Structure 1
Amino acid sequence: MNLKTISSQESLLLNNLEAVSFQSNLEEHTLLTVAQIALQIQTTLLKSSISYAQSVSGSLILKTTLKTTLETLTKYTGADEGSIFLIDEDGVIIESILARGPVTRDLKDSVISKVLDSGLAGWSLRYRQIGLIYDAITDDRWVQLPNQPYKARSALAVPLIYGVNIIGIITLTHSQANHFDEAIAAMMQYSMESIAAIILNAQLHAEYRPLGA
């Protein structure tokens, strides 16, 4: 990809960011940086998606895609931890990765239920918009879970919306208050439909390309 192509894509991203709600308080040079990073995120995930489609089959492609998505977003946002839930059209969780790592099925179900019923993830899904928490101590959208193995002072919830359908939710956290800001939120808001499309594509591969096929 040459510099002219990159410049053209960045200009398109910058123009599209005019519609992003978090951009209103951001300066133009910050918006350009947001556009550049959003492009990098989407390019990185798309390249990984193409690679997995050629080399991985069955449910592994979906699990690998979710893991890579969290790792990529954690890297670009500077988050400490991240979780991702995929939901079907009835709102039932069909796949998940928790920030606390592998846990028993009962504990996983309990954690997911609490954050979707009372937490930031649930708020973000209900309002179909990114949820930004500057300080979890003063924001009642954040639910402190029992025996939580990590510290969360700031958080960002990103609904995965493709077209009119919500297919999941990503939550990123950091141990320091005010880590996530409007620039990061705008970057994620612009990227979320592309991320949703990549994950949806992995779901289709998992369904129609069984393990070993």
Structure 2
Amino acid sequence: MPLNIIIVLVLAVFMSVLGLILTTKATNSSIESARDLNARLKSLFEITKQFRETLHLDVLLKKIMESAMGLTSAESGSLLLYDEQGNLKFQVNTGINSPTINNRILKAGEGIASWVVETGQPVIINDVSQDKRFNQEFDNETGFKTRSVMCVPLIHSNEIIGVIELRNKKQGIFTKQDKALLHSLADQASISIAQNRSNERQHSDFIHITEILVGAQDYMENKKGHGRRVANYANLIGKQLKLSDIALRKLYYACLFHDIGMLKIDITERGKREKVLHHPKLGYDLIRPVSLWNDSADIILHHHERYDGDGYPAAKKKDEIPLGSRILFVADTFDVLTDKDSYRKPLDYEAAIAEIDANSGTQFDPLVVQAFKSAIT
């Protein structure tokens, strides 16, 4: 066989083997890349689940930042949100040690993050020294050396509410895959942030409405501060009886509103017993339709039932009476007995406790009385 043909055959075999090696390496690389992506997608799923379960905004924002950096292997990052005044403010900063950045307001046109919120477009810049949008003042202020940046907007209901900015991938450069993952995380984060803010506003409204109604009761004769004091006494009793947090919450609001039915009785008739007897039912009717407090309504309805069945409005007795109502009855009575602004001459604490103890088993539940005495003395 001529030498040139042998050389050609050898070269052909060599190229075939080389191609096989390169193909195998490419295939292995693809498999490795797919495995990495799958792991990160699973992580993203778990992360978004955690977002939904986080109730406090500060905790949520830290989780978002930590998760974004973990998914993309970034060295540092910041999460900025618009506040109620329309200022874009640094809320969370991770991987940098500079307290001056916290809560700092980012001015319009200042840096890459500002460009992203203005355009609504995510961006990867793997060499910030070549990009005029990069603001060197950040590095000067923090002492951090930024090489690369990946930034995505936080968008909810077609409105930009903030931005996530990550800096310096630990190995290699930020990729399109990194950007896609961060964008998906940002979508879920935006929903959770908006929901969390809505919950905080509702909670704030709830507190204000509660204060308004409690304040309205304070204007009734002999009732100033009564609901709050009763709630404090009842809470002590409830804890002594080892009630759950949910049960204590129901009891607390029942105590605050136990006399709210009096507001529906004409002011000129509040001293008439036949009218006063209706206030538990009137209070129940007011509170029951309100989802914020409807689980406290039954406690209000029965807070004047006696343990021996001689109370009102339903003449229930013993365990037929909700435990919360039995606790409220003792706490209410104790405050009336000791309040200097009450309609009767106040007793000192010892005399009031003795009065309640004397009516244990008839007017009051003995178990509740014992818990009351243990808690108050």
**Same topology, TM > 0.5:** yes
Question: Bigger CA drift: 157-166 or 84-93?
Answer: 84-93
Structure-2 separation of matches of 1:35 and 1:203: 32
Matched, 1:154 2:122: no
Shift of 1:178: 5.2
Structure-1 separation of matches of 2:130 and 2:86: 29
Q: Is the 8 A contact 2:69 2:75 kept in 1?
A: yes
The root-mean-square deviation of aligned C-alpha atoms, in Å, is: 3.3
In structure 1, which of residues 114, 118, 133 is the aligned counterpart of residue 125 of structure 2? 133
Structure-1 separation of matches of 2:171 and 2:114: 21
Q: 1:179 to 1:117 in 2, by over 3 A?
A: same
Q: Is the 8 A contact 1:152 1:173 kept in 2?
A: yes
Structure-2 separation of matches of 1:62 and 1:44: 15
Percent identity reads 21
Q: Is the 8 A contact 1:86 1:95 kept in 2?
A: yes
Matched, 1:199 2:202: no
Write the mapping of 1:27-106 to structure 2, written as runs, cut at 5 A: 34=37, 37-50=40-53, 52-53=54-55, 61-88=56-83, 91-93=86-88, 96-99=91-94, 100-101=96-97, 103-104=99-100
Aligned residues: 175
Structure-1 separation of matches of 2:117 and 2:192: 19
Gaps of 5+ in 1: 1-26, 54-60
Q: 1:138 to 1:168 in 2, by over 3 A?
A: same
Shift of 1:91: 3.4
Q: Is the 8 A contact 2:60 2:193 kept in 1?
A: yes
Structure-1 separation of matches of 2:150 and 2:130: 15
Structure-1 separation of matches of 2:170 and 2:181: 20
Q: Is the 8 A contact 1:160 1:192 kept in 2?
A: yes
AA partner of residue 49 (structure 1): R
Q: Is the 8 A contact 1:82 1:98 kept in 2?
A: yes
Q: TM-score, normalised by structure 1?
A: 0.68
Q: TM-score, normalised by structure 2?
A: 0.41
In structure 2, which of residues 102, 105, 110 is the aligned counterpart of residue 118 of structure 1? 110
Structure-2 separation of matches of 1:171 and 1:188: 10
Structure-1 separation of matches of 2:89 and 2:103: 12
Structure whose residues are more often helix by fraction: 2
Q: 1:130 to 1:29 in 2, by over 3 A?
A: farther
AA partner of residue 79 (structure 1): A
Greater length-normalized contact order (CA 8 Å, ≥ 6 residues apart): 1
Structure-2 separation of matches of 1:162 and 1:77: 22
Shift of 1:32: 8.4
Q: 1:28 to 1:196 in 2, by over 3 A?
A: farther
Structure 1 partner of 2:269: none
Gaps of 5+ in 2: 1-29, 208-248, 250-377
Q: 1:173 to 1:104 in 2, by over 3 A?
A: closer
Q: Is the 8 A contact 1:123 1:141 kept in 2?
A: yes
Q: 1:48 to 1:175 in 2, by over 3 A?
A: closer
Q: Is the 8 A contact 2:125 2:148 kept in 1?
A: yes
Bigger Cα Rg: 2
AA partner of residue 167 (structure 2): T
Shift of 1:76: 1.0
Task: Write the deviation string for residues 102-150 of structure 1: whole angstroms up to 9, x where unpaired.
Answer: 5248x8536x23xx52311011111101111111111222111223322
